[in-house]
Amino acid sequence: MPPAKLLIVSSDKSFRQVLRDILANEDFSVLEADSGKKAIRMLSEFDFEGAFCDLNLSDLPGKKMLEELQSLSPDTSFLIVNATNLIDSSLEAVRREAQAHFSRRKRKEGLFHTIEEALERSRGSGGSKQGGDKKEIEDEFPEIIGRSKAITDILDIIKKVAGSKSTVLLTGSSGTGKELFAKAIHCHSPRKDKPFVVVNCGAIPEHLLESELFGHKKGAFTNAVSSKKGLFQEANEGTLFLDEIGELPFELQPKILRAIEEEEIRSVGSNELIKLNLRILAATNKDLEEEVKNGKFREDLFYRLNVFPIHIPPLKARGEDVRIIAEHFVQKYASESSKDIQGISPNALAMLKNYPWPGNVRELENAIEQAVLLHDGDGYLEEADLPLFLEKREAERKKRFVKEALDKRLSIEEYTREFIKRFESEYSEKKLAQLLGINSKTLWEKRQRWNLPRGKKQPA
């Protein structure tokens, strides 16, 4: 049988070289294309079993090229890889990417399995440190609980990317731990002693966002009574975490892109360019590729952010993590309230495992905290201690709070303020706004007005 033919598409020469080295020992015939146009030409001339495509190309938008390649050669398996900004972690990155891809699509399993093995071998023989030592990882990330493969894989990646300046895009639904993981990247990076600044792109009203991000000069607009530093500048030398990036208004996207690419900003009303040194992390619970398709998110910004994608799966999909995380929080809250709770009874555990956890780890933590609070402090947590109908828990707590507010004869304004103070550590800003029946921007404005800056509970 002739050797399988593979194509490597990337404008990055050293990256092509790495891949080629990995594949060289195998019985593959490997060709390279350094541009999108060349890749298209080659695919129309030859049959390839598989192609590794880096979508950050110098000549064509990567996505467009990929679509064209796929229609040219529907039988070829395409594997998307990211070369840009990867330092010596690129090998591992490719391996991870490959792995993610293999589990997503089982196409051409045999072929890619061989590549995967080759990557594994090459990693081992390269003298690079072997990842995946669970104990070691546990010690290195004490704040992150959970030992599912999904989580240890992510921690492994985080260890590798933390040292570089690569942009990381964290995706996953609410409460999965995007912010926690972003913080972990910062804390394991050489910038750990510099600022970690969080921008919630969804919570700041559109007309203020630019000045919040880039700052403004005195007199730049009606309310600009004094000059103000923007969050980009606050984060200088450190890490800027662009949370809820999917909410970034379309008109601002080119400005953000430019700021990230050029590493310089101009504050509103000023001509002076400010040079910055920033590591950018971003997170979203939206499907950004879908947003790009629908014209809501700029493709160029998406690719600039998606250099290193990390997806955090929902808690429900993480198997034993529900138990491990629940037990961790039982210990934590029991010791905080000096209760002698031994653990969780099998029935209660079964109940926790059956629950879908739409609010993920945040919801589980809250459920355990409440259960510990209500427990009389001896023996095990039983079913009866758990908020019986977890789904109704939120509604019931809110009802109780409303009743208290009525008893105290609070005004609506007072009620809202108390509500924020009472629940802000437990819910995301989005959820808080939802429970209050207002949108995130109104919530942000109220916080500003009442001098109640967003203060999220820090991981223990």
Ligand X SMILES: Nc1ncnc2c1ncn2[C@@H]1O[C@H](COP(=O)(O)OP(=O)(O)OP(=O)(O)O)[C@@H](O)[C@H]1O
Binding site for ligand X (CB under 6 A): 144-146, 172, 174-180, 285, 325, 361-362, 365, 428, 457, 459
User: Is residue 212 part of the contact set for Mg ion (CB under 5 A)?
Assistant: no
User: Is residue 424 part of the contact set for Mg ion (CB under 5 A)?
Assistant: no
Beta bridge partners of 180: none
Rounded Cα distance between 403 and 405, Å, is 5
Rounded Cα distance between 57 and 40, Å, is 13
Least distance from ligand X to the Cβ atom of residue 78, Å: 29
Least distance from ligand X to the Cβ atom of residue 277, Å: 25
Q: How many CB atoms lie within 10 A of CB 171?
A: 21
Rounded Cα distance between 105 and 132, Å, is 23
Least distance from ligand X to the Cβ atom of residue 281, Å: 11
Partner interacting with residue 175 (select from ligand X, Mg ion, none; CB below 5-8 Å by kind): ligand X
Q: Which stretch binds Mg ion (CB under 5 A): 70-78, 173-181, 355-363, 408-416?
A: 173-181
**What residue has token string 């758990």?**
386
User: 11-28 burial by CB neighbour count: b if 16+ within 10 A, else e?
Assistant: bbeebbebbeebbeebeb
Partner interacting with residue 319 (select from ligand X, Mg ion, none; CB below 5-8 Å by kind): none
Q: Give the distance from CA 107 to its chain's centroid.
A: 27
User: Is residue 179 part of the contact set for Mg ion (CB under 5 A)?
Assistant: yes
Partner interacting with residue 36 (select from ligand X, Mg ion, none; CB below 5-8 Å by kind): none
Closest to ligand X by CB, 176 vs 267, is 176
Beta bridge partners of 228: 216
- Please identify the residue of the shown chain whose CB is closest to the bound ligand X: 177
Closest to ligand X by CB, 79 vs 420, is 420
Least distance from ligand X to the Cβ atom of residue 431, Å: 7
Least distance from ligand X to the Cβ atom of residue 242, Å: 12
Least distance from ligand X to the Cβ atom of residue 325, Å: 6
Closest to ligand X by CB, 177 vs 238, is 177
Closest to ligand X by CB, 180 vs 256, is 180
User: Is residue 365 part of the contact set for Mg ion (CB under 5 A)?
Assistant: no
Least distance from ligand X to the Cβ atom of residue 179, Å: 3
- Name the residue among 313, 213, 297, 207 with its Cα closest to residue 247: 297
Least distance from ligand X to the Cβ atom of residue 297, Å: 17
User: Is residue 12 part of the contact set for Mg ion (CB under 5 A)?
Assistant: no
**What residue has token string 């804390």?**
187
Contact residues for 293 (Cβ-Cβ < 8 A; gap 6+): none
Partner interacting with residue 176 (select from Mg ion, ligand X, none; CB below 5-8 Å by kind): ligand X
User: Is residue 426 part of the contact set for Mg ion (CB under 5 A)?
Assistant: no
Partner interacting with residue 9 (select from Mg ion, ligand X, none; CB below 5-8 Å by kind): none
Closest to ligand X by CB, 112 vs 357, is 357
Instruction: Summarize as ranges the residues that interact with Mg ion (CB under 5 A).
Output: 178-179
